[in-house]
Amino acid sequence: MGKTERKDAAVALPMGRMQWIKKNILPNKYLYLLLLPGVLYLIMFPYRSMYGILMAFKDYNFNLGITRSPFVGLKHFKNLFGDTYFWIVFFNTLKISFGRILTSFPFGIIFALLFNEIKGKHFKKTLQTVYTFPHFLSWVVVSGIVINFLSVSGPLNQLIAVMGNEKVVFLGSKKLIIPILYITGIWKEAGWSSIIYLAAISGIDSTLYEAASIDGAGRWKQAIHVTLPSIRSTILVMLALSIGRCLDAGFDQIFNLSNSVVQSTIDIIDTYIYRITFMTAGDYSYSTALGLFKSVIGFTMLFLMDKVSRKIEGVGIISGKGSV
């Protein structure tokens, strides 16, 4: 290629980029502006903060900073796996998370199916608002309500006493505390999670219901044989995301409802990280190693569930063929 040809090619490349921008970016400039805050958030917080992962492989010293702190390799991970209490909180986290998936995950689907069956437009919107509203309350507020309601002198125990039974220390019972976590979690989030399934249901072809009705299927059979199969891909994706967050057992909820009596039962990785980071001398390297371990397990579970989702439905989460 001669000098003139190389020069023409160098000029053509930028022009090609400008044409691509004019064709694809400029017509959708307002959509990209809406996307910008989310992109900036990802850059500033999740991605920029990943630099701190280096602390997991160093003996972090505040005065020296991350880069000048001495490198210790896998020392903190060895200490982590040799820590007996770490395995307690690890299995607590798995137990609470997968129990939450089994008990709480179906309620979003159930609520969506029930909302879909309501014919009155205004009544339907009112119920959706009522059931969605708790999502916007912080766990500080919700926990305060729960603690007052379930306390020894609370309304529920007053009713139990009136009926001639002994009062129950609900939040001090190791047997009851986990069911309480599940019930309050369902009350707070089920209405909100149903929104995604309702959106998926709204995209179902109405002729499928008409055909099922002609074949003699009632509303119940239509929900089982038309609605659920039509939103199966959405259910699988949401299930994959839930399992990918299997080590996020609900820090805010547990932190606010926990007490010294039940701490060993519901202590999870996030509350353990909080204590060793902020309530002791502050072993930042150890807590970073713990957080990195949690992230790796979460990514692995998400990747495996993505494979399962693709195998069953042909729809996955991670970018590539068949992804959403």
Instruction: Specify the pTM.
Output: 0.80
Please check the confidence at residue 10 and state whether its pLDDT lies above 50: no
Per-residue DSSP letters for 191-218? Answer: HHHHHHHHHHHHTS-HHHHHHHHHTT--
Cα angle: 142, vertex 146, 149; to 5 degrees: 140
Q: How far apart are CA 30 and CA 107, in angstroms?
A: 36
Q: Give the chain's radius of gyration (CA, Å).
A: 26
Buried b (16+ CB within 10 A) or exposed e, 22-37: eeeeeeeeeeeeeeee
Asked if 131 and 111 count as a contact pair (C-beta separation under 8 A), the reply is: yes
- Indicate the burial class of 146 (C-beta count within 10 angstroms; 0-12, 13-18, 19 or more): buried
The pLDDT value given to residue 282: 73
pLDDT band per the 50, 70, 90 thresholds, residue 315: low
- The domains located in the chain, with CATH, are 83-313 (1.10.3720.10)
- Residue-wise pLDDT for 97-131, tens only, equals 999 999 999 999 999 999 888 888 888 889 889 99
- What is the pLDDT, as a whole number, of residue 187? 93
- Whether the per-residue pLDDT at 139 is higher than 80: the answer is yes
